[in-house]
């Protein structure tokens, strides 16, 4: 596994090196800006779940899912349909393709995200994303593998099928990664009227609170969808308390398995428990 991982980095194309450099550069920039202009003061860089989020979610899970999504699912669909051979988008300028795929996927992700908050089955693969108690540039990477599997397949399948150059896949990945880090970052951004269009920490941090904002602000990249579809929430003051009100495990594997727990709220009471309750009543 390690050899395959190292080989992957040894055989990177220039546009892939550029993409990784931008993502790493942006991460460093966000860490620095979080120190200089913190939204919530006193938040530490090394916080609860930091290594889980960096090594297991951001690097290991993304790497493995990348193989499953591109070499497995997308490759299978493309081989059986042969649509990419038509090269429908091959001559469209890369920057137009990036705008087109960013906006169309963003509409999808808005509605999908909104649905995840109202459907108990879809919530199961989304709650991991809401579990960090401190929200920062890295915490957005904590997403259940099934959530990423669905959303990234929807994100990249059209790009491959329309025959776009590989650069479009790489740069679209960069846009998603950098924007994802930005909206979660602990930076005190005050973008004014721009927050009506461009989504940022001002609104997305409210989405990660335990309060009213949690079922608002579903947008990822463009805040337009929240303002347009009546789900925007931007009160005075600052978001303070983040995470879930319910129990959530701290270990990566347990977090993955937790999505498949039973829905039964009250599993049949044990005779022991029953007799205890009885005793307390008669006491
Ligand atoms: Zn959410
Ligand atoms: Zn988020």
Q: How many CB atoms lie within 10 A of CB 271?
A: 8
Closest CA to 74 of 144, 154, 141: 154
Count of residues in the chain: 283
Which three-class secondary structure string do you get for 90-140? CCCCHHHHHHHHHHHHHHHHHHHHHHHCCCHHHHHCCHHHHCCCCCCCCHH
Phi, psi of 114 (to 5 degrees): -65, -40
Question: Rounded distance, CA 105 to CA 73, Å?
Answer: 18
How remote is the CA of residue 72 from the centroid of ligand 1, in Å? Answer: 27
| Residue for token pair 């995200």 | 113
Q: How far is the CA of 42 from the centre of ligand 1 (A)?
A: 25
Compute the distance from residue 184 Cα to the ligand 2 centre, in Å: 6
pLDDT tens for the 283 residues of the chain, in order: 677 767 777 788 899 999 999 999 999 999 999 999 999 999 999 999 999 999 999 999 999 999 999 999 999 999 999 999 999 998 999 999 999 999 999 999 999 999 999 999 999 999 999 999 999 999 999 999 999 999 999 999 999 999 999 999 999 999 999 999 999 999 999 999 999 999 999 999 999 999 999 999 999 999 999 999 999 999 999 999 999 999 999 999 999 999 999 998 755 444 444 333 333 333 3
Ligand sitting nearest the alpha carbon of 136: 2
117 CA from centroid of ligand 1 (Å) = 6
Ligand 1 centroid to 127 CA: how many Å? Answer: 7
pLDDT value for 11: 80
Q: Which ligand is nearest to the CA of 220?
A: 2
> What is the distance, to the nearest Å, from the Cα of residue 93 to the centroid of all Cα atoms in its chain?
28
Q: Which ligand is nearest to the CA of 242?
A: 2
Q: From ligand 1's centre to the CA of 134, what distance in Å?
A: 15
Quote the ligand 2 centre to 209 CA distance (angstroms). Answer: 10
Distance (Å) from CA 218 to ligand 1 centroid: 6
Ligand nearest to the CA of 127: 1
* pLDDT confidence of residue 266: 56
CA of 272 to the centre of ligand 2 (A): 42
Residue 1's pLDDT is 66
* C-alpha of residue 252 to centroid of ligand 1, in Å: 19
**What are the residues facing 187 on neighbouring strands?**
38
Which ligand has the minimum distance to the alpha carbon of residue 218? 1
Cα of 223 to ligand 1 centre, how many Å? Answer: 14
Structural domain spans, the chain: 2-261
CA–centroid distance, residue 219 to ligand 1 (Å): 9
Ligand 2 centroid, distance to 160 Cα (angstroms): 26
Q: Which of 206, 248, 238, 243 is nearest to 223 (CA)?
A: 206
User: Is residue 128 within 8 Å of residue 148, measured between CB atoms?
Assistant: no
- Is residue 213 within 8 Å of residue 233, measured between CB atoms? yes
């Amino acid at each position: 596994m390690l050899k395959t991982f190292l080989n992957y980095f040894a055989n990177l194309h220039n546009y892939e090196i550029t993409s990784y450099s931008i993502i790493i550069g942006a991460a460093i920039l966000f860490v620095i800006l979080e120190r200089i202009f913190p939204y919530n003061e006193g938040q530490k860089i090394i916080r609860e779940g930091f290594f889980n989020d960096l090594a297991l979610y951001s690097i290991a899970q993304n790497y493995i899912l990348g193989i499953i999504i591109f070499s497995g699912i997308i490759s299978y669909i493309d081989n059986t349909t042969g649509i990419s051979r038509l090269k429908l988008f091959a001559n469209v300028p890369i920057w137009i393709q990036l705008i087109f795929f960013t906006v169309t996927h963003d509409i999808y992700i808005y509605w999908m995200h909104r649905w995840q908050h109202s459907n108990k089955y879809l919530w199961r693969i989304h709650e991991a994303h809401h579990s960090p108690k401190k929200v920062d540039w890295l915490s957005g990477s904590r997403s259940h593998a099934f959530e990423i599997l669905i959303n990234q397949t929807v994100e990249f399948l059209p790009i491959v099928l329309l025959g776009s150059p590989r650069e479009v896949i790489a740069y679209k990945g960069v846009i998603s990664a950098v924007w994802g880090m930005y909206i979660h970052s602990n930076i005190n951004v005050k973008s004014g009227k721009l927050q009506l269009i461009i989504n940022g920490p001002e609104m997305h941090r409210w989405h990660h609170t335990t309060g009213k904002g949690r079922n608002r602000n579903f947008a990822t990249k463009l805040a337009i969808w929240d303002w347009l579809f009546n789900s925007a929430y931007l009160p005075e003051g600052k978001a303070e308390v983040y995470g879930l009100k319910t129990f959530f495990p701290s270990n990566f594997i347990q977090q993955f398995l937790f999505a498949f727990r039973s829905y039964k709220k009250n599993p049949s009471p044990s005779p022991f428990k029953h007799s205890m309750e009885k005793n307390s009543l008669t006491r």
